[in-house]
Chains A and B, each alone.
Chain A
Amino acid sequence: MTRPTDGEVVVRVEELHKSFGHLKVLKGVDLEVHKAEVIVIFGRSGSGKSTLLRCVNFLEEPTSGTVEVDGIRLDPGHRTSAKKEQVRQLRIRTGMVFQQFNLFPHMTAIQNVIEGPVTVKGVPEERARAVGAEILDKVGLADKAEEYPIRLSGGQQQRVAIARALAMEPKVMLFDEPTSALDPELIGEVLAVMTSLATDMHMTMIVVTHEMGFAREVAHRMAFFHEGVILEEGTPDEIFENTRFPETRRFLDAVL
């Protein structure tokens, strides 16, 4: 797919460092994601991909560096009240999909979807329900609106989780290994929803995944993560066909 090059920058990460104690996980990451762009981040587990994603919405506090989402610029530092509010504003503009779904088990599918709009944005419940029903329909779960998560399959749960994130009308969606916890036969339905998100809704997406088929088909750009830095970046063609780095080649050979 051709990359939407001249779209505005939605996410900008500069010189991001993150350490857990003595362990340096991110060692200076720079990343720009343009509007409607889909970027796939891949690399060995432990290379820092998930940490990067979690730093973008400050679920993980970066050790140093800057994160900017939709014009909201944040540096790490003590969470004063003002800072907390800024973090919250950044998160409202950021949708996150977790590996373990993390649906609210005490709420039905539709309640999960409208929770953000109603509680965080103060949307009237009736309107949120109408919008939520549409979004559930988009992810193919209109008939499961009243089910509790435990009665849904893993794939269905993840689709509800995507709907929940979408309901906040985020500027960018972050996917943290969204299919890694799924049985193989359920992966397809989640990837299909993500594909339609990219191609039909032109959502800006940062996807951490090992699904190279999805990357080849949907991603505009791929970033290979290696030992805390982005070692290589390029279009799927460039990455798959002529990567310049033996590390990337080795990883691709292992997963393909």
Chain B
Amino acid sequence: MSTGQAGGRGDPAPHASAKIGARERFELATARIPWTIKRIGVMVAIAAALVGAFSAVGFDTDWMRENWVKILWGGPDLLDGIFLTLIISVSAIALATLLALLGALTRISKSAILYTLSGFYTSFFRGTPLLVQIFLIYFAGAEVGKRLGDAGYESLRNIFTLDAVPAGILALGLNYGAYMTEIFRAGIQSVGHGQREAAEALGMNYRQLMRRVVLPQATRVIIPPTGNEFIAMLKDSALVYTIGVLEMFRLADLAGRRDFRSIEALVLAAAVYWLLTSIFTFFQVRLERRMSKGYVRAVEVGSGVRTTKIVSSSGQGSSGGAWGGDLPLATEVESAEEDPS
């Protein structure tokens, strides 16, 4: 082996007319198959492999047929399961967006008070585990409430004693808000200095400048990574399972363990998370396109390509598409506006 590949294996030197190896034959044979067809083939193969693997372990489809409704919706409350997962995620991302906006504006602020406060906030919530934060707010928070209440501050008792769902939303919102603060800050700072100067030269004050000029442009940059955060949030919402919230993952886990059908239950839950994230990725891409208005220059109708994006969308772009690459990326041609057909 030490002599290296060239002479060591005793292969004859390749001639132009040497006989074709299996690999090369395969490459030539598949060269003309359209790429999309190839991909469909691979997808079918993956699906077949999964079906094969599941049937090999005796996947209990009957159990699944009987229990999937209970897993997705079957808590004592109508809103348990998938709805609760969605409610928690949407509420938490709304809270996180608000916090991120405030956080970003204070991160770029000249005020020592605000700058330090938001620095403290982002540092703590980015520097500690989300699970610990959930426990801190739910369990430790309740104890704080109890001690304050016992000490005579009755009104504070209830403020710190949160139900599991609000506690989960608060923890997720605070945690994601800290990360998104950086996204928002970067988005705001991505707006060129000339834009601020133009707004200032018109006599705008800081508020007007932010609201009318900077934030609308920053939003374009902020949307793609925020979509990613929402998708991550959808998945991390499963963590509130630990404080007893009957969201989708907890219902699946309970049902699976009760009947010794964890494979079926967990695969179902995973599939639904996957489906949800795929759906949101789809909408995210459409939103990104809408936001590109004003950054798209028209090309002649009839060329097949109607518009060309000349400023590529910033941010990380979208990830999490079901099979990746299926979805039109922001840099692709064609706009969502005015379809001439």
Contact = CB atoms under 8 A, between A and B. Distances in A.
Interface of A: 57, 59, 84, 88-89, 91-92, 94-96, 98, 100, 102-108, 115-116, 119-120, 148-151, 164-165, 168
B195 A104 contact: yes
A115 B212 contact: yes
Contacts of A100: 194
Interface stretch (B150-158, B174-182, B198-206): B198-206
Interface of B: 192, 194-195, 197-205, 208, 212-213, 216-217, 220, 293-298, 310-311
Contacts of B294: 105-108, 148-150
Nearest to A149: B294
Given A107-B294, A119-B212, A91 B203 contact: yes
B205 A102 contact: no
Contacts of B216: 106
A88 B194 contact: no
Contacts of B220: 106
Given A91-B201, A95-B201, 20 more contacts: A59-B197, A84-B205, A94-B201, A96-B198, A96-B201, A98-B194, A98-B197, A100-B194, A102-B195, A104-B198, A104-B199, A105-B294, A105-B295, A108-B294, A115-B212, A120-B204, A150-B310, A150-B311, A165-B202, A168-B202
Contacts of A164: 202
A194 B278 CA distance: 54
B289 to A, nearest CB: 15
A120 B197 contact: no
B296 A150 contact: yes
A84 B203 CA distance: 10
Contacts of B297: 150-151
B213 A104 contact: yes
Contacts of A107: 294
Contacts of A57: 201
Nearest to A99: B194
Contacts, number: 75
A107 B203 CA distance: 18
A119 B208 contact: yes
B293 A91 contact: no
A95 B198 CA distance: 10
A147 to B, nearest CB: 9
A120 B201 contact: no
A149 B202 CA distance: 18
Contact of A98 (B198, B205, B296, B310): B198
Given A91-B203, A116-B203, A102 B198 contact: yes
Contacts of B293: 106, 148
A106 B201 contact: no
Nearest to B110: A79
B340 to A, nearest CB: 16
A91 B202 contact: yes
Nearest to B213: A104
Contacts of A92: 202-203
Contacts of B296: 150
Contacts of B197: 59, 96, 98, 102
Contacts of A105: 217, 294-295
Contacts of A108: 294
Nearest to B208: A119
Contacts of A150: 294-297, 310-311
Nearest to B194: A102
A115 B211 CA distance: 12
Contact of B200 (A91, A95, A165): A91
A103 to B, nearest CB: 7
B198 to A, nearest CB: 4
Q: Report which residue of A94, A148, A164 has the largest number of chain B beta carbons within 10 angstroms of its beta carbon.
A: A148
